[in-house]
Amino acid sequence: MSTSQVILPWLICITAACLVVGLVWGFFFTQDDFRQGSTVKIIYLHVPSALMAINAWLMMLVASLIWLIRRHHVSALAAKAAAPIGLVMTLIALFTGAIWGKPIWNTYWAPDPRLMSFMFLLFCYVGYIALWEAVDDVDAAADMTSILCLVGSVFALLSRYAFIFWDRGLHQEASLSLDKETNIANEFYYPLLICMAGFVLLFITLVLVRTRTEIRSRRIRALMARERMA
């Protein structure tokens, strides 16, 4: 708590700076794509949110494992705190994708492996959050959701390959990869990187804030319980 207290204001500032610089640069100071026109600029929201939608789940997976193995309470609360953020990121990715898809593919939605994977991810988040809400006992809820997160991750991977098997798809390949040849042009690349850094920082900031809230509410519960017993 005390560490995050110190870090948090700085983190908020850096996050805001990254987002503002990245988005303004991306939206106003890059050329329009020769085929896609100004539509391409939605990439500065779409790619970073999609990135965080997946990474939020990975973070929850790691936090769940830490809770199951080490029984570290803050870990369970951090996983709980991350879920709604991941859900919102998934929604942003889906919506910006649909808006982007309309002018380019002439459809908002297509049964495409990547699109379906994100829909699947959305269901995973919804189920995970619903399970947290449904179980009264805090430790039991943490256990149940952690088990769900583990099993869900396995099935998410399975589904991903099942989707690819099912249909080759419309969606273009990843915008960024380590293989430089296939990368998008530098002009789009740098603002996109800054945007992605901004979203990562935004996610960390939000998780910290929400985890602090969870810890405080646990503390309140504990104090009230002590009050009742006394």
| Interface with other proteins (CB under 8 A) | 1, 73-74, 120, 123-124, 126-127, 130-131, 134-140, 143-144, 147-148, 150-152, 155, 158-159, 162-163, 165-166, 215, 218-219, 221-223, 225-226, 228-230
Give the nearer residue to other proteins in terms of CB position, either 101 or 152.
152
- What secondary structure does DSSP assign to 140-190, as a single string? HHHHHHHHHHHHHHHHHHHHHHHHHHH---SSPPPS--SSGGGSPPHHHHH
What is the C-alpha radius of gyration for the chain, rounded to an integer number of angstroms? 20
Per-residue DSSP letter, 29: S
Least distance in angstroms from the C-beta of 202 to other proteins: 26
Give the nearer residue to other proteins in terms of CB position, either 138 or 176.
138
Give the nearer residue to other proteins in terms of CB position, either 17 or 130.
130
Least distance in angstroms from the C-beta of 63 to other proteins: 15
Per-residue DSSP letter, 112: -
Q: CA dihedral in degrees (102, 107, 112, 115; nearest 10)?
A: 40
Least distance in angstroms from the C-beta of 122 to other proteins: 9
CB 30 within 8 A of CB 188: yes
SS3 content of the chain, % helix, strand, coil (to 5): 85, 0, 15
Which residue's structure tokens are 């936090």? 63
Least distance in angstroms from the C-beta of 151 to other proteins: 5
Give the nearer residue to other proteins in terms of CB position, either 13 or 147.
147
Give the nearer residue to other proteins in terms of CB position, either 185 or 229.
229
Least distance in angstroms from the C-beta of 148 to other proteins: 6
